[in-house]
Amino acid sequence: MEKDSMGEMEVPADAYYGASTQRAVLNFPISGQPFPRRFIRALGMVKKAAAQTNRELGLLSRRRARAITAAAQEVIEGTLDGQFPIDIYQTGSGTSTNTNANEVIANRANEILAGVKGSKVVHPNDHVNLCQSSNDVIPTAIQLSAAMAIKDELIPALEQLRKALDAKSREFWPLVKTGRTHLQDATPIRLGQEFRGYAGQMEESVRRARAAIEELARVPLGGTAVGTGLNSHPQYARLASVRLAKATGIPVRETSNHFHAQATLDVMVATHGALRTIATSLWKIGSDVRLMGTGPIAGLGELRLPETQPGSSIMPGKVNPVIVESLTMAIARVYGNDLTVTICGQSGSLFELNVMMPVAGVATLESIALLAASSRNFAERCIDGLQATDRGPELVERSPMLATALNPVIGYDEAAKIAKESIRTGRSIRQLARGRGVSEPALTKVLDLGKMTKPGLEGPGGGG
């Protein structure tokens, strides 16, 4: 039997949490989904840094601080994950989960000190929550968990994919194929140049991910209830941030404006905006690879995708682009999460506090995990095993858009006539130009496919 400010509450005998946590468990039987490991780990880090900082400031006795630090370390390591049962669809500030952490750490600390839970030698509010409020702890834990997930999971996966695409760019560089704009034939391009573009998208994605970490690193810790810092030591947030930076490898620092940092989820909206952009880049790459791999007979057939599994229960020998399909489904979920985070930021920011923090945090962590896993899988099970076929080089010689290279020789209007005749008759541009009196040396010069893939006036002009 546990007791809080609202009275007595029965709690499971083996629980480290107390009455307030049990009330929250009963109040929110919504999804059955508690906060994920990454968030609980970050929350433990905040509580550990708080205890150590409060000891440094002389606000906690050495004995209590050591016990709280040891209990918080167990939260960080995952030993006490089963003690965090509250649904993510709970109080919008995450107060229930902050109280949950305070109770668990206090009871475990009491067990360390006295061998028994519930002694209140270490109090959940007076000691574990010292200099803190749910209103600054929960957003700080959300931001830290997202920043660490981007650093540890997403950026390495994007780098792996960038390297895979860059390797294919070099491998495919000799192959000249038909470029496409508006899904119609355009002037020639190297297959390697296309893959260089994809590698560039991933390079930019890594840059955007790092920029998101910079935003997330400015934490609201120290603002307590409404951003004023009431009941918090003036040096607490700065010193705790230094500890968190060392523990996480993230350049954590106290926000310069606590009123903004606690009243909004702008940093999460911006972070997920970067994730949405990364997802869009991945969609483009996956879609292009899938289209170039259509066939093998009735499609473009310029790429041969790795055969990862049988594609049909009825059609023998069929192979489908399942890795790309997996990627795009993950991205669809990320797009949905982006809308969730945007609505949380827009609708949840009321006066001095945002009250839709838990779901925004969990949606962001899910998006990071999905993008990291699907990027790595796309690199390993699709890009690494791609093979180029002869189809691209075969088609480029038949492309009517080669007529563009004749612009400097016979003019745009005459070149357009040749292009249309090529489409109508199926005869090549080279044949038709020769029939109109263009000399063989001139044709050899302007219809040099490799030269058409470089800048220069002796060849194709602009256009879309």
Same domain, 82 and 213: no
CATH number at residue 26: 1.10.275.10
108 falls within a domain: yes
243 falls within a domain: no
Give the model confidence (pLDDT) of 396-452 as tens digits: 877 887 888 888 889 999 889 988 998 899 888 888 889 888 888 888 888 888 888
Cα 296–420–423 angle (5° rounding)?
25
Got the DSSP string for 52-78? HHHHHTTSS-HHHHHHHHHHHHHHHHT
CATH number at residue 386: 1.20.200.10
Same domain, 193 and 279: yes
pLDDT of residue 458: 56
7 falls within a domain: yes
Same domain, 174 and 321: yes
Please identify, among 87, 114, 130, the residue that sits at the C-terminal boundary of a domain. 130
Q: How many domains does the chain have?
A: 3
Same domain, 176 and 281: yes
Same domain, 98 and 31: yes
With 70 as the cut, is the pLDDT of residue 464 above it? no
**127: which residues sit within 8 A by CB, 6+ positions away?**
60, 64, 68, 106, 109
248 falls within a domain: no
Whether the pTM exceeds 0.85: the reply is yes
CATH number at residue 432: 1.10.40.30
Q: Are 451 and 459 in contact (CB under 8 A)?
A: yes
User: Could you give the angle at which helices 134-149 and 37-56 cross, rounded to 10 degrees?
Assistant: 120
Give the model confidence (pLDDT) of 293-345 as tens digits: 999 889 999 999 999 988 888 888 888 999 999 999 999 999 999 999 999 99
Q: Are 304 and 318 in contact (CB under 8 A)?
A: no
Q: Are 227 and 172 in contact (CB under 8 A)?
A: no
Please identify, among 130, 157, 186, the residue that sits at the C-terminal boundary of a domain. 130
Same domain, 180 and 223: yes
Same domain, 347 and 437: no
Give the model confidence (pLDDT) of 108-158 as tens digits: 999 999 988 888 899 999 999 999 999 999 999 999 999 999 999 999 999
**Is 182 designated active site?**
yes
With 50 as the cut, is the pLDDT of residue 462 above it? no
Same domain, 188 and 289: yes
Percent of the chain with pLDDT over 90: 80
Q: Per the residue annotation, which of 5, 182, 256, 313 is the catalytic one?
A: 182
Same domain, 36 and 73: yes
Q: Are 65 and 55 in contact (CB under 8 A)?
A: yes
464 falls within a domain: no
Give me the domain span that covers residue 356.
136-232+266-391
pLDDT of residue 457: 63
With 80 as the cut, is the pLDDT of residue 351 above it? yes
254 falls within a domain: no
CA pair distance 232, 137, nearest whole angstrom: 12
Please identify, among 374, 391, 408, the residue that sits at the C-terminal boundary of a domain. 391
Q: Beta 2-4 vs 353-354: how paired, if at all? A: unpaired
**Is 272 designated active site?**
no
237 falls within a domain: no
Same domain, 67 and 115: yes
pLDDT of residue 399: 83
438 falls within a domain: yes
Same domain, 123 and 141: no
Same domain, 372 and 275: yes
With 70 as the cut, is the pLDDT of residue 19 above it? yes
Q: Per the residue annotation, which of 20, 119, 169, 312 is the catalytic one?
A: 312
| Average of per-residue pLDDT values in the chain | 94
How buried is 403 (Cβ within 10 angstroms: 0-12 exposed, 13-18 middle, 19+ buried)? buried
